[in-house]
Each structure stands twice: as structure tokens, then as C-alpha cells.
Amino acid sequence: MSTHNVWTHKGTFLLAAVGSAVGLGNLWRFPYLTGENGGGAFILVYALTIFAVGIPILIAETMLGRTSRRSPIMGMRHLTKTHGTSRAWESIGWLGAASAFLILSFYSVIAGWAIHYTGQMFSGALVGADSETIGAGFDALLASPWLLTGYHTIFIIASALIVGMGIHKGIESGLRIIMPALFAILLLVLFYSIANGDIGAAATFLFTFNIADLSLEGWLQAMGQSFFTLSLGMGAIMAYGAYMSSEASLTRTAVAVAFVDTAVAMVAGLAIFALVFGAGLETGQGPGLMFVTLPLAFAEMPFGALVGGVFFILVLGAAISSSISLIEPVAAFLVERFDLTRPKAVGAVTLGAWLMGLLTVVSFNVWAEGTLFHALFGRSAFDFIELLTNIFMPLGGLLIALFAGWALTQSEVMKELRTSEGWFKTWRFLVRFVAPAAVSFVFLRTIPQVDGYLIPTLGAIVIVGAFAAGRTFLVEGSSR
Ligand code: PHE
């Protein structure tokens, strides 16, 4: 059954995709990963994957959504039938649903930290505080499972309410308010950091490349991040693509999404590191970077409490416009497959992700060390979940690229792309060969190096699985 739901305007998909893409990935994760991985080298790998792999896959994923006009799982089921390919390709949908679940679970916990800091900033509690006080405040937040769970609950319920109201009344109207405000606030914060921070040091840090600075796991993180930041390879874009007007241009939209998303990450990185260097702080702080160094930088600066509060509102707005796109693909599946009402479907998805989120909550306190996860995988549950998504998203993207590149016929693709022969050939070359090769290269190079026993096994299973699926397809496909 097709939902026949289409966004109100031709340009709404762009708005929704940018809303999904711009999020904690840009404001929180990108700066801290860059800081941990030595700056420029990380950005180089990240930017290369965005342009050579990200944009072609973004087009492919939107295309699969728009041609099938169904939620990712049902959409892939439909496409495998109509194209006489192996059902194994449906794994694109299932893998996506799994990633969405995993991401939503920790995303909501981290977004919860921003709720905490919005309050802290506006109340002026941190004005004039020194680094010890602020560091201790952050540690105290992380040490409290109750506080973390409370914020996590608030955030996930807010996201659920928006998605529960439907794609027009909820998602579209929400985004129309949130997105313009975001860009205004981002510019405000940038100007503030130029005036009060050390923008020169920030630029040097971000744009000086020394590839030796990058560890092997850094490569995987950079690639994972480029998928994460574009919301790629897990069905969010496919779900939104299913509602995209047939009139809108796939290529132009994808380039615009990638451009805006990268620009936001760069601006956020510049602003954050300008404040960090201006206040003489450390760059390699890990996940705490935004939450410790920024409040500290704001604590000492004119109007810091106000601008800081506004900044954390920005973070929350960006986070919620992304979390709704994590709920949508799975919720839409439940509606299509089991005829659930939308509110029920959304409730089921968020309840599941909320429960899973408790694993992230306890990773910062009661289960911070010495758990089963540490014994098996050498890391906390949160780190393990993040690692899984770093693998699942590129893997999903790889499968999407292969399916769109090899299973869709030229006339179908041309109908969607409506482009010149030249760009069609380039795009098809990118999704057929370049994207799969790049993803496999990073996988083969990094996954065996990741410490913890089960990771190599997992990597092997995944790669063998991908080849098996590909072979079945090639065999069945060639008989067409
Ligand atoms: N792109 C979002 C961000 O950068 C995260 C996200 C990933 C959202 C996958 C949806 C799907 O924060």
C-alpha cells in the first residue's frame, strides 16, 4: 500500500532534509571528533567522503524513496519485487531501522544535556564560574542517572509529539519555525565568537592538514561522521524522499543539502574552537567539548549567559529537527505494515528507543566501567552503540549505492534524475564503483583494527553478508 503523502511544497523536502542533516552531528559531534583527531586531517577525510560518496548516495537514497513512495522497509520490499532482485536487498530497510533506533536512543540522551545547559545558562548559574566549577557541574550531570533519564524523557516525548501530529501539521510546520531561527542564531553565535574568541587559531586548527594526525579508528570515525551528518544510509532520507514532489530536482536538492550541512558544521566548528582557543582551553575533550568548554567560554564573556542560553536553544532546535527524522521511517513502516494509527506507531518507536537510551544513560555513571560491554567490546554501551552506527550507516549507504546503481534501470533513473547523459553516467559510476570502493576500503582498513573481540567477527559477517547479497542479486539480475 502506498501512502500517497506528498510534502505541501516542491521545496519542503529540502527543508526537511536540511532539518534532518543539521543537528547534534554538526554542533556537538563534528567539533569534538575533529578536536580528538587533530583537526585538519580529520576534516579532509570527512569532506572527501561527503563529496565523492555522500552526495551520490544522497541522490540514490532520495531516489529509492521517491520511486517507491513507501517507508524504507516496505519501499525496498516493493523495489525488490518489481525489479526481480533478491529479497536480501530488503536488508537496506531493516538495517536502516536498526540504525535509526540505535541513533535515536543516544541522540535523545545527548540532546537532554542541552536542555540542562539551556537552563544553566539562562539562569545565570554559571556566570563567572571557573573551569573547575563548570567541569564539576558537567561531571555531576553525567553522574546522575535520574537527571539524565529525566532530560532524555523530555526530549524524546517532544520529538514524538511533533512526529505524532503527522508529516504536514507536525513535521512541516515544526520545521518552518525551527529552521530559520536556527540559521539566525548560528550567525549570531559566529559573530559573537569572532568578537570574543580567537578565530584565527580556530581556522588554523581546522584547515591545516596533516594526515599522520589521523589514527585508523579516526578514518572510520570520519567516514561514519560524514554519513551521520548527512543522515545517510539509514532510511531517514528515504522516508522523507517518499514524500518528495516529483517536480523537485534530485541533484540540485542533494547538493544543496550537503552544502548547507557542511557549511553549518564548519561555522559551528569555527565558532566553538574560536571560543575554546580564546579561553585557552583544550581541544581534545571528547563528548564534553561543547558542554564544558562553551559554558566556560561564555561564563567569562560579555552577555555570555544570554548568548550561551540562545546557543543551547540552537542545539535543541537542531537536535529535534533531526530526531523527528529518526522516528519517521520506523513509525511510517509500522503504519504501513500493521495499520497502526500514527500516534500508536510513534509511541511504540519512541518507547523502544527510550528504553534503549537507558543504556547510554548508565554508560556515564553506574555502568561506566567493568560491565559486560567492556569485557566483550572494550568500551561502554554508549561507545559500542556509536561504533555500531559508524558501521551500519556506511554499510547501509553502500547497499543503497549498489542497489540504485545496478538494479534500477537507466530509464527509471533518468525519469527521476531528469538530467544530461553526462551527469547520469558520472553519477552511476560514482554509485556503482567509487562509493562502494571507498566504503569497503575504509571498512577493511579500520574494522579489523578496532579493539574488542567481537568487532572483527562482526565486520567479517557483515562483509560476507554483503557479498552474498550482491552475488544473489547478480545471479538473479543477470537472468533478466
Ligand atoms: N544528521 C543528524 C545530525 O547531524 C543525525 C542524524 C543521523 C539524523 C541519521 C537522522 C538520521 O545530527
**Interval between CA 305 and ligand 1 midpoint (Å):** 28
> Residue 110: CB within 6 Å of ligand 1?
no
For residue 476, pLDDT beyond 90 = no
256 inside domain: yes
- At 2, the pLDDT band (50, 70, 90 cuts) reads very low
Q: What is the mean pLDDT of residues 36-59?
A: 90
- At 475, the pLDDT band (50, 70, 90 cuts) reads low
The domain tally of the chain equals 1
2 inside domain: no
- The count of other CB atoms within 10 Å of the CB of residue 183 is 16
> Residue 33: CB within 6 Å of ligand 1?
no
Burial degree of 230 (CB within 10 A; 0-12, 13-18, 19+):
buried
Look at residue 131 in the predicted model and tell me its pLDDT: 82
Look at residue 478 in the predicted model and tell me its pLDDT: 46
Report yes or no: 175 and 16 within 8 Å, Cβ to Cβ. Answer: yes
156 inside domain: yes
> 100 or 4: which carries more pLDDT confidence?
100
> Residue 262: CB within 6 Å of ligand 1?
no
Q: What is the mean pLDDT of residues 155-175?
A: 90
Q: What is the mean pLDDT of residues 212-236?
A: 87
| pLDDT per residue as tens digits for the range 266-290 | 999 999 899 888 888 888 888 888 8
**Interval between CA 24 and ligand 1 midpoint (Å):** 7
> Residue 111: CB within 6 Å of ligand 1?
no
Find, among 164, 114, 179, the residue nearest to 316 by Cα. 114
DSSP letters spanning 229-282: HTT-SSSHHHHHHTTS-TTS-HHHHHHHHHHHHHHHHHHHHHHHHHHHHHTT--
DSSP annotation of 436 reads: H
6 inside domain: no
Q: Which of 55-59, 185-189, 308-312, 475-479 has the lowest mean pLDDT?
A: 475-479
435 inside domain: yes
The pTM (predicted TM-score) of the whole model is: 0.89
- Distance separating alpha carbons of residues 278 and 302, to the nearest angstrom: 13
The listed range with the strongest mean pLDDT (57-71, 159-173, 206-220) is: 57-71
> Residue 231: CB within 6 Å of ligand 1?
yes
CA atoms within 13 A on the CB side of 91: 21
Find, among 283, 265, 182, the residue nearest to 226 by Cα. 265
- Distance separating alpha carbons of residues 72 and 98, to the nearest angstrom: 12
Report yes or no: 98 and 395 within 8 Å, Cβ to Cβ. Answer: no
> Residue 25: CB within 6 Å of ligand 1?
yes
Please identify which residue in the block is written with the cell numbers 555500531.
388
Kindly give, in sequence order, each residue whose CB lies less than 8 Å from that of residue 114, ignoring residues fewer than 6 positions away.
Answer: 291, 312, 315, 316, 319
37 inside domain: yes
**Interval between CA 23 and ligand 1 midpoint (Å):** 6
Q: Whose CA is nearest to atom 10 of ligand 1?
A: 231
| pLDDT per residue as tens digits for the range 109-159 | 999 999 999 999 999 999 889 888 998 999 999 999 999 999 999 999 999
**Interval between CA 21 and ligand 1 midpoint (Å):** 5
Q: Which of 2-11, 94-103, 312-321 has the lowest mean pLDDT?
A: 2-11
Choice from 27, 103, 267 to test ligand 1 binding pocket (greatest atom count within 8 A of CB): 103
404 inside domain: yes
Look at residue 113 in the predicted model and tell me its pLDDT: 96
5 inside domain: no
Q: Which CATH number does the domain housing residue 97 bear? A: 1.10.4160.10
- At 218, the pLDDT band (50, 70, 90 cuts) reads confident
The overall longest dimension of the chain from CA atoms, in Å, is 72
- At 469, the pLDDT band (50, 70, 90 cuts) reads low
The range of the structural domain enclosing residue 258 comes to 11-478
For residue 429, pLDDT beyond 80 = yes
> Residue 15: CB within 6 Å of ligand 1?
no
**Interval between CA 447 and ligand 1 midpoint (Å):** 22
> Residue 24: CB within 6 Å of ligand 1?
yes
Find, among 458, 461, 439, 288, the residue nearest to 377 by Cα. 458
> Residue 103: CB within 6 Å of ligand 1?
yes
Look at residue 1 in the predicted model and tell me its pLDDT: 39
Rg of the chain (C-alpha set): 21
Joined together, the cell numbers standing for residue 340 give 497502526
Q: What is the mean pLDDT of residues 59-81?
A: 95
Amino acid, res. 171: I
